[in-house]
Amino acid sequence: MKIEQIEIHHLRMPLKSAFETSFGRSVTRDCLFLRVYADGIEGFGECAADYDPGYSSETAGTSWYILQEFIFPKVIGMDFSHPADFQECVANVRGHRMAKAALEMALWDIYGKQNNQSLKNLLNGTKERVEVGVSVGIQKDPTTLVKTVEKYLEDGYQRIKIKIKPGRDIEDAKAVRSAFPLIRLQVDANSAYTLKDAQRLIPLDELNLLLIEQPLDEEDLWDHHKLQKMLRTPICLDESILSLQHARQALEMQSCRVINIKAGRVGGLSEGKKIHDYCYQQSVPVWCGGMLETGVGRASNLALASLPGFTLPGDISATDRYYDEDITNERFILNADSTIDVPSGVGLGITINEKAISKYSIRKYYAK
Ligand code: OSB
Ligand code: MG
Q: What confidence tens digit (pLDDT) does each residue in 87-139 have?
A: 999 999 999 999 999 999 999 999 999 999 999 999 999 999 999 999 999 99
Does residue 315's CB lie within 6 angstroms of at least one atom of ligand 1?
A: yes
- The full set of domains in the chain, from first to last, is 3-117+350-367 (3.30.390.10), 121-341 (3.20.20.120)
List, in sequence order, the alpha helices (H) in the chain: 60-66, 72-75, 86-89, 97-115, 119-122, 142-155, 170-179, 198-201, 221-230, 244-252, 269-281, 295-305, 354-360
Strand, helix or coil at 257?
coil
Q: CB within 8 A of 154, min separation 6: which ones?
A: none
Query: What local confidence, expressed as pLDDT, does residue 41 receive?
Result: 98
**Phi, psi torsion values for 156, nearest 5 degrees:** 115, 5
Does residue 239's CB lie within 6 angstroms of at least one atom of ligand 1?
A: no
Cα-to-centroid distance, 213 and ligand 1 (Å): 11
Does residue 319's CB lie within 6 angstroms of at least one atom of ligand 1?
A: no
For 207, other C-beta atoms within 10 Å of its C-beta total 17
Q: Alpha-carbon distance 70 to 81, whole Å? A: 21
Mean pLDDT of 226-241: 98
**Confidence label for 355 from pLDDT (cuts 50, 70 and 90):** very high
Cα-to-centroid distance, 77 and ligand 1 (Å): 35
Q: Measuring from atom 13 of ligand 1, which residue has the nearest CA?
A: 290
Q: CB within 8 A of 277, min separation 6: which ones?
A: 309
**Confidence label for 45 from pLDDT (cuts 50, 70 and 90):** very high
Q: Is 262 a catalytic residue?
A: yes
The angle, 0 to 180 degrees and rounded to 10, between the axes of the packed helices 244-252 and 269-281 is 30
Q: How far is CA 96 from the centre of its chain?
A: 15
Q: Is 163 a catalytic residue?
A: yes
Mutate to test the pocket of ligand 1, among 23, 135, 190, 302 (most ligand atoms within 8 A of CB): 135
- 176 close to 185: Cβ distance less than 8 angstroms: yes
pTM of the model: 0.98
Cα-to-centroid distance, 212 and ligand 2 (Å): 10
Q: Measuring from atom 1 of ligand 1, which residue has the nearest CA?
A: 190
Cα-to-centroid distance, 227 and ligand 2 (Å): 17
Does residue 289's CB lie within 6 angstroms of at least one atom of ligand 1?
A: yes
pLDDT digits (tens, 9 = 90+) for 285-341: 999 999 999 999 999 999 999 999 999 999 999 999 999 999 999 999 999 999 999
Query: What local confidence, expressed as pLDDT, does residue 172 receive?
Result: 98
